[in-house]
Chain A
Amino acid sequence: MNAVAVAPAREHLRRTWYAFSRNGGSVVGLGIVVAIVLLTTFAPWLTPFPRHARAFTDFEHAGLPPGRPYALGTDTIGRDIFTRVVFGYRFSLLLGVVVLTAAVPTGVLLGLLAGYYRGWPETVIMRITDIFLSIPPLALALAIMAVLQPNLQNAMLAVSAMWWPWYTRLVYGLVSSLRTEGYVQAAQIVGASPAHILLREILPNCLPAVLTKMTLDMAFVILIGSSLSFLGLGVQPPDPDLGTMVADGAKYMPDLWWISVFPGLAILVVVLGFSLLGDGLRDVFGVEV
C-alpha cells in the first residue's frame, strides 16, 4: 500500500502505442498523414517543378502521360501534375486546419455552457444547433458562397459556419453525463468557480472525444472543400487545388485521364489517411464520437 504505481511516461507511451497499433489501419493512417504533412511542408524542395504550382505554361510538354520526368503526367498547359497535387494538398490541409481552429473552440465552448447550465441557455444553444444541423452541409456552404465572393477565405468561412454545431452537440452530450460525476459535485460543494469546473474538471475529460472527432473531421472538411472547389466555389485558379484539378481534367476524360484521376486519388488518400488515424485514436481513447 506504500508503493504507488506511478507509471513512467515511457511506459505510458508504450501502452498507448500498443493500443493504437493493434489496428493495422491506424498505423497506415498515421503514415499517410505524416507523409502528407512532410510533403506539403517541404513542397518547394521535394517537388520537381515548384514553379508549376501557379500560373505557368509550357505548351511543348502539354498533355504528356505519366512518365519521366513528369511522374503523374502534365496538364493541358504543360504543368507537372505531381507538383500541383503536392501544392494542392497545402490548400486542403490549410482549409482543414483553419476550419477546425475556428469551429472547434466555438462549438466546444457552446457545448460546455449548454450542458452545464440547464434551463434557457441549454434551450437556446441547442435549438440553434439543431437548426444548423438540419441543413445539409454542402447546401448551406453553397448558399453562403453564392452570397459571398468565391475564394478560399470565404470557403473557410462557409465551412466553419456549418461545422461548429457538431462539436456543440458532442460536448453537450459529454457534459450532460459528466456533470453528475462525483468530482464535479465535489468541486461544486467546495465552492469552486464555474470556470474552474468547466475548464479544469470537465473539459479535460471531453478532449479525447474532441480530438478524435477533429481527426475524422479533417477528412470530411477536406472532402467538402474539394467539392466546393470542384464546383468552382473554392480555391481559384491559378492556385492548385485538388477539386479544381479534377474539374479541369474532367473535360478531357478519358483521353487525358491522368489530369483528373491522380488529383482524385490524392483526395482519396488524404481522406483515407485521416479517417484511419481517427479510428485508431478512437480505439486508444475508447470514445464514441
Chain B
Amino acid sequence: MSEPLLRVDNLVKHFPIRAGFLMRQVGVVRAVDGVSFSLSPGETFGLVGESGSGKTTLAMTLLGGYRATAGEIWFRGDNIADPVARRRRPALTKEIQVVFQDPGSSLNPRRTVRQTLEVPLRVHRLVSTHGEAARQIARLLETVELPAEFMHAFPAALSGGQKQRVAIARALATEPSFIVLDEPTSALDVSVQGKIIALLLDLQRRLNLTYLFITHDLSLMRNVATRVAVMYLGKLAELADTASLFGNPLHPYTRMLLSAIPVVSEAEERLKPRWVVPRGETPSPARVPPGCSFHPRCPDAFAVCPRIDPVAASADGRHVVRCHLYPGCTPAEVADAART
C-alpha cells in the first residue's frame, strides 16, 4: 500500500450533556470513541452503521465541523484535527470536500445554482472575473452532466437527482482530492441512485478522487467500496476489504447487519451468513453498555464481554476485528487475570 492520504488515529469526539440552570455537565455522548483507520489515494472507503453509530459525527470531525476531543487526523502529513488551525490553511480546506445526504437542505433555496457554485470559486480565488466564473461554473455543470442553463435555476426548480448533481459540482469546485459522501443517495429515488453512483465512480476514475462513503445500504456498499468499516456506538467493530467483509464476516454485529439485507433470489440468500436474528435497538451513545458495547445484543456473548472492552486485532494484517471471539482482541493482561 502506498502512503496513506488520510490517517485517523484514535479519534474521539464526545459531546457534553449539560442540564440545569448553571448548565453543568451531567454526562457525555460518546459519538466517536477511539476510531483509527487510514485511506489510500484513489480508494473508496465505506463506513456503515446504524443511525446513532457516529458515522456522521466522524465525517463532520474529519471535515473540520467539530473539534476532536482527542486523537489525530493526518492528511498528507498535516495534523488537521484542530479546526481553527485548519481554517487558516485554505490549501487544506480546498482538498477536503463533502456531499450531504439530503439534497433538499444542501442547497440554499434562495440562491441560484450559479450563486451556490460561485462561493467555493471566490473563497479560494480560483476565478477573478465574472465571465471566468461563468465559464468555470458551466464547466463544473458539464462535469456532473447538467446543461449550463441550470446555473440560472433556483433549487426549487430542480429534481432531487439534479440537486445532488449540483451538490457534487460544488464539492468538485475546489478540485479536492478527498470527498466525504455522507449517504449521497439514500434520499433519492432508486432509479436516480444508480445514475448518481455511476457518476461518482466515473468522477473518481477521471479525477483520481478518494472517497469516504457513508451509507447504511450494504448492497450498495458491496458494489462501490474497496474497503469497508463497520461502526457501532462510536467504535469500529470490523474493518476489511469489501470481498473479505462480505464473504467472511467475523464480528457478530457485521453478521447481524448482513443477514438483514433483503434479497430476492435463493442464490443471494446462500451468500448470506447464517441467519442471525437482529435483536434489540442500538443503545443511546449517552449510555454505552460496559465492556464490549455490543454485548447486550450479541448472540455469542460470553462471560468476559460485559466486563472488558475488546481491542482491535487482525490475524492477517488486513481484516481487523474487535471482538473477544478472536485471538488478540482480549487485552493480554486481562486475559491472564481471567485465567487465574
Q: Give the interface of A toward B (CB within 8 A).
A: 1-2, 4-7, 181-183, 185-193, 196, 200-201, 204-205
In the assembled complex, the Cα of A4 lies from the Cα of B114 at a distance in Å of 14
B326 close to chain A: CB less than 8 A: no
**In the complex, per-residue mask of B146-162: 1 if CB is within 8 Å of any chain A CB, else 0:** 01011011100111011
Q: Say whether A1 contacts B109, CB under 8 Å.
A: no
Which segment of B96-104, B254-262, B292-300 sits at the interface?
A: B96-104
Write out the residue numbers on chain B whose beta carbons fall within 8 Å of the beta carbon of A183. Answer: 105-108, 111, 116
* Max chain A C-beta neighbours (<10 A), residue from B65, B119, B149: B119
Q: Say whether A4 contacts B98, CB under 8 Å.
A: no
* Max chain B C-beta neighbours (<10 A), residue from A181, A189, A193, A201: A189
Specify which of B63, B101, B152, B173 is in contact with A6 (CB 8 Å cutoff): B152
Closest 10 CB pairs of A and B: A182-B106, A204-B110, A182-B100, A183-B108, A191-B93, A182-B105, A190-B120, A5-B157, A181-B105, A4-B153
Specify which of A4, A182, A191 is in contact with B102 (CB 8 Å cutoff): A182
Write out the residue numbers on chain B whose beta carbons fall within 8 Å of the beta carbon of A182. Answer: 100-102, 105-107, 167
Specify which of A1, A5, A181, A192 is in contact with B123 (CB 8 Å cutoff): A192
Q: Say whether A200 contacts B111, CB under 8 Å.
A: yes
Known: A1-B161, A190-B97, A193-B123. 5 other contacts (CB 8 A): A4-B153, A182-B167, A185-B98, A191-B93, A204-B110
Q: Say whether A196 contacts B100, CB under 8 Å.
A: no
Write out the residue numbers on chain B whose beta carbons fall within 8 Å of the beta carbon of A191. Answer: 87, 90, 93-94, 123-124
Write out the residue numbers on chain A whose beta carbons fall within 8 Å of the beta carbon of B119. Answer: 187, 190, 192, 196
Q: Say whether B158 contacts A189, CB under 8 Å.
A: no
Write out the residue numbers on chain A whose beta carbons fall within 8 Å of the beta carbon of B98. Answer: 185-186, 189
Write out the residue numbers on chain B whose beta carbons fall within 8 Å of the beta carbon of A188. Answer: 64-65
**In the complex, per-residue mask of B170-184: 1 if CB is within 8 Å of any chain A CB, else 0:** 100110000000000
Specify which of A2, A186, A189, A205 is in contact with B109 (CB 8 Å cutoff): A205
Q: Give the interface of B toward A (CB within 8 A).
A: 60, 63-65, 87, 90, 93-94, 96-98, 100-102, 105-111, 116, 119-120, 123-124, 147, 149-150, 152-154, 157-159, 161-162, 167, 170, 173-174
Q: Say whether B105 contacts A189, CB under 8 Å.
A: no
Secondary structure type dominating chain A contacts: helix
Asked whether A1 and B162 contact (CB < 8 A) given A183-B108, A205-B108, the answer is: yes
B180 CB to closest chain A CB (Å) equals 9
A13 CB to closest chain B CB (Å) equals 15
Write out the residue numbers on chain A whose beta carbons fall within 8 Å of the beta carbon of B93. Answer: 189-191
Q: Say whether A204 contacts B170, CB under 8 Å.
A: no
Write out the residue numbers on chain B whose beta carbons fall within 8 Å of the beta carbon of A201. Answer: 108, 111
B44 CB to closest chain A CB (Å) equals 20
A191 CB to closest chain B CB (Å) equals 4
A249 CB to closest chain B CB (Å) equals 49
Q: Say whether A4 contacts B106, CB under 8 Å.
A: no
Write out the residue numbers on chain A whose beta carbons fall within 8 Å of the beta carbon of B152. Answer: 6
A130 CB to closest chain B CB (Å) equals 14
Q: Say whether B174 contacts A190, CB under 8 Å.
A: yes
In the assembled complex, the Cα of A2 lies from the Cα of B158 at a distance in Å of 11
Write out the residue numbers on chain A whose beta carbons fall within 8 Å of the beta carbon of B97. Answer: 189-190
In the assembled complex, the Cα of A190 lies from the Cα of B161 at a distance in Å of 22
In the assembled complex, the Cα of A190 lies from the Cα of B162 at a distance in Å of 21
Specify which of B90, B96, B106 is in contact with A186 (CB 8 Å cutoff): B106
In the assembled complex, the Cα of A2 lies from the Cα of B109 at a distance in Å of 21
Q: Say whether B157 contacts A6, CB under 8 Å.
A: yes
B143 CB to closest chain A CB (Å) equals 16
In the assembled complex, the Cα of A6 lies from the Cα of B100 at a distance in Å of 24
B189 CB to closest chain A CB (Å) equals 13
Write out the residue numbers on chain A whose beta carbons fall within 8 Å of the beta carbon of B102. Answer: 182
In the assembled complex, the Cα of A1 lies from the Cα of B162 at a distance in Å of 8
In the assembled complex, the Cα of A201 lies from the Cα of B64 at a distance in Å of 19
B18 CB to closest chain A CB (Å) equals 12
B305 CB to closest chain A CB (Å) equals 36
Please give me the residue from chain A that is nearest to B115 by CB atom. A200
Write out the residue numbers on chain B whose beta carbons fall within 8 Å of the beta carbon of A186. Answer: 98, 100, 106, 167, 170
Q: Say whether B100 contacts A185, CB under 8 Å.
A: yes
In the assembled complex, the Cα of A272 lies from the Cα of B65 at a distance in Å of 47
In the assembled complex, the Cα of A196 lies from the Cα of B201 at a distance in Å of 32
Write out the residue numbers on chain A whose beta carbons fall within 8 Å of the beta carbon of B167. Answer: 182, 186
B118 CB to closest chain A CB (Å) equals 10
Please give me the residue from chain B that is nearest to A197 by CB atom. B119
Please give me the residue from chain B that is nearest to A204 by CB atom. B110
B295 CB to closest chain A CB (Å) equals 33
Write out the residue numbers on chain B whose beta carbons fall within 8 Å of the beta carbon of A181. Answer: 105-106, 108
A19 CB to closest chain B CB (Å) equals 14
In the assembled complex, the Cα of A183 lies from the Cα of B167 at a distance in Å of 9
A224 CB to closest chain B CB (Å) equals 32
Write out the residue numbers on chain A whose beta carbons fall within 8 Å of the beta carbon of B90. Answer: 191
Asked whether A189 and B106 contact (CB < 8 A) given A4-B150, A204-B111, the answer is: no
Write out the residue numbers on chain A whose beta carbons fall within 8 Å of the beta carbon of B170. Answer: 186, 190
A-B pairs with beta carbons under 8 Å apart, 7 shown: A6-B153, A183-B107, A183-B111, A191-B94, A193-B123, A200-B111, A204-B111
Specify which of A2, A189, A196 is in contact with B64 (CB 8 Å cutoff): A189
Write out the residue numbers on chain A whose beta carbons fall within 8 Å of the beta carbon of B173. Answer: 190
Write out the residue numbers on chain A whose beta carbons fall within 8 Å of the beta carbon of B110. Answer: 204-205
* Max chain B C-beta neighbours (<10 A), residue from A7, A181, A196: A181
A182 CB to closest chain B CB (Å) equals 3
In the assembled complex, the Cα of A73 lies from the Cα of B121 at a distance in Å of 68
Write out the residue numbers on chain A whose beta carbons fall within 8 Å of the beta carbon of B111. Answer: 183, 200-201, 204
A100 CB to closest chain B CB (Å) equals 22
